[in-house]
Amino acid sequence: MFGSVAAFAVAAGLAAAPALAGDLTIVSWGGSYQDAQSKAVFIPVAKALGIKIKEESYGGISDVRLQVKAGAVTWDIIDTGSGGGARGGVEGILEPLDYDMIDVSNFVPGTYLPACVGTITFSTVFAYNTETYSGDNVPKTWADFWDVEKFPGKRSYRAKYSGALEPALMADGVPPEKVYEVLSTEEGIDRAIDKIRQLKDHVAVWWKSGAQHAQLMKDGEVDMTTGWNGRFDVAIGDGAKAAYNYGQGLLDYDCFAIPKGAPNKELAMKFLAEASKASYQAAMPQYITYGPTNKEAYDLGIIDNEVAGKLPSHPDNAKVQLVVDNDWYAKWEKIASSKYQDMLTE
């Protein structure tokens, strides 16, 4: 579902429970997202378990693949997009999770996988500069994002295929409910990439991280960019002249997984069992507007109604979005990724 931060250690408090053997190294996406995770999840879970956590940031599931193939796994837990979790499970580069230990009985259906347990819901949307476009003349759909005559200006688009093909098809007139049906052929993938190819001359920056696309909007470097709702909200809170809506967004989730051969697999499983509890997930929206996967988080009185209404998984927002199909990503990742990279390097 994200920049780079320096690795740092999170020490448990002196009053924490007796220490378990070993420490954990967790990798995530950096920037405002990982800052929120540290405050809401990593630090309090470390205290609850009486352990130490070292945080790092990384570039995604491909980095895990390299470590596993080299037999040199240094990470215990990763945060990955649901597509990465699906692919990693199929490839065998992620450990199967123990769902007798990790309670997902109150999770939103479909937000956990054999090798990856959901931690937040998020949406891929596009944001626009409110000084460039205002009043009634604001882009609202993916077709508007592609319409460089009605909405002239610089665009930014993701440098990876994930979350990039679906908007292109919707911009090309494919109804949301038919998007994955069309994408389930090479011809459909080519159609999406051809649509992106039409936009290439107007893409000033192909973004590679959540921190980057948020900064692009904050700096006014582009007029529109795709990206993740929570990152945009942080940028807007920091003064970015930007706005977005959830219409035709891609509703997705991030999940925690354990790389195959992780140094501290048993302790990592205990961490995931604790981190999946509703109280930690309810704390995340206090720092960034990503929703919980554990539905019980809404019942604890921690997330107020105003904040809840801004979250991707809120019913009013979820109903206007396309839910990401992880089965498609598991099946078509190699073909779609290769075609997308070929387009970028033409």
Q: Please, are residues 97 and 17 in contact by the beta-carbon 8 Å criterion?
A: no
Please indicate, yes or no, if residue 2 is contained in any of the structural domains. Answer: no
**Locate tokens 């900064």: which residue?**
215
Task: Report the residue count for the chain.
Answer: 346
Contact status, residue 1 vs residue 252, Cβ threshold 8 Å: yes
Q: Would residue 223 count as lying in a domain?
A: yes
- For residue 1, what pLDDT is reported? 43
83 and 12 assigned to the same domain: yes
Q: 203: which strand partners?
A: 155
Identify whether residues 261 and 112 lie together within a single domain: yes
Query: Any idea which residue has 């460039």 for tokens?
Result: 132
Task: Read off the tokens for 235.
Answer: 């940028």
Name residues whose C-beta falls within 8 Å of residue 68's C-beta, 6 or more positions apart in sequence.
93, 259, 260, 261
How far apart, in Å, are the Cα atoms of 246 and each of 54, 96, 127, 203?
A: 35, 33, 10, 22
pTM, two decimal places:
0.84
Q: How many domains does the chain have?
A: 2
Whether 307 and 337 map to the same domain: the answer is: no
User: Do 327 and 193 lie in a common domain?
Assistant: yes
Position 3 in a domain: no
Contact 226, 164 (CB under 8 A): yes
Write down the residue that tokens 């109804």 correspond to: 175
Please tell me the distance from the alpha carbon of residue 258 to that of residue 139, in angstroms, as a whole number.
Answer: 40
Structure tokens, 317 = 């927002």
The predicted pLDDT at position 4 comes to: 34
For 240-257, b where at least 16 C-beta lie within 10 A, e where not — what string? bebbbbbebbbbbbbbbb
Relative to beta strand 203-207, strand 155-158 is: parallel
The DSSP symbol for 107 reads B
Residue 263's CB: how many other CB atoms inside 10 A? 15
The pLDDT, as a whole number, for residue 8 is 34
Shortest CA distance to 167 belongs to which of 152, 148, 182, 154?
182
Residue 268: name the closest of 279, 259, 277 by CA: 259
Q: Are 50 and 298 in contact (CB under 8 A)?
A: no
Tens-digit pLDDT profile for the chain (346 aa)? Answer: 433 333 333 333 333 343 345 699 999 999 999 999 999 999 999 999 999 999 999 989 999 999 999 999 999 999 999 989 999 999 999 999 999 999 999 998 889 999 999 999 999 999 999 999 999 899 999 999 999 999 999 999 999 999 999 999 999 999 999 999 999 999 999 999 999 999 999 999 999 999 999 999 999 999 999 999 999 999 999 999 999 999 999 999 999 999 999 999 999 999 999 999 999 999 999 999 999 999 999 999 999 999 999 999 888 898 999 999 988 998 998 999 999 999 999 9
What is the spatial distance between Cα 115 and Cα 237, in angstroms, rounded to a whole number?
Answer: 35
SS3 11: coil
Is the same domain home to 327 and 179? yes
Check whether residue 91 and residue 115 sit in a common domain: yes
CATH code, domain carrying 283? 3.40.190.10
> How many whole angstroms separate alpha carbon 142 and alpha carbon 168?
7
Q: Both 183 and 169 in a single domain?
A: yes
Residues 133 and 264 grouped into a single domain: no
Q: Are residues 95 and 138 in the same domain?
A: no
CA–CA separation, 314 and 185 (whole Å)? 32
239: left (phi over 0), alpha (psi -120 to 50) or beta: left
Dihedral angle of Cα 35, 36, 40, 45, to the nearest 10 degrees: -40
Four-residue CA torsion sign, 326, 170, 289, 306: negative
Residues 247 and 128 in one domain: yes
Q: Is 156 helix (H, G, I), strand (E, B) or coil?
A: strand
Do 139 and 246 sit in the same domain of this protein? yes
Containing structural domain, residue 67: 8-121+252-318
Whether residues 208 and 233 fall in one domain: yes
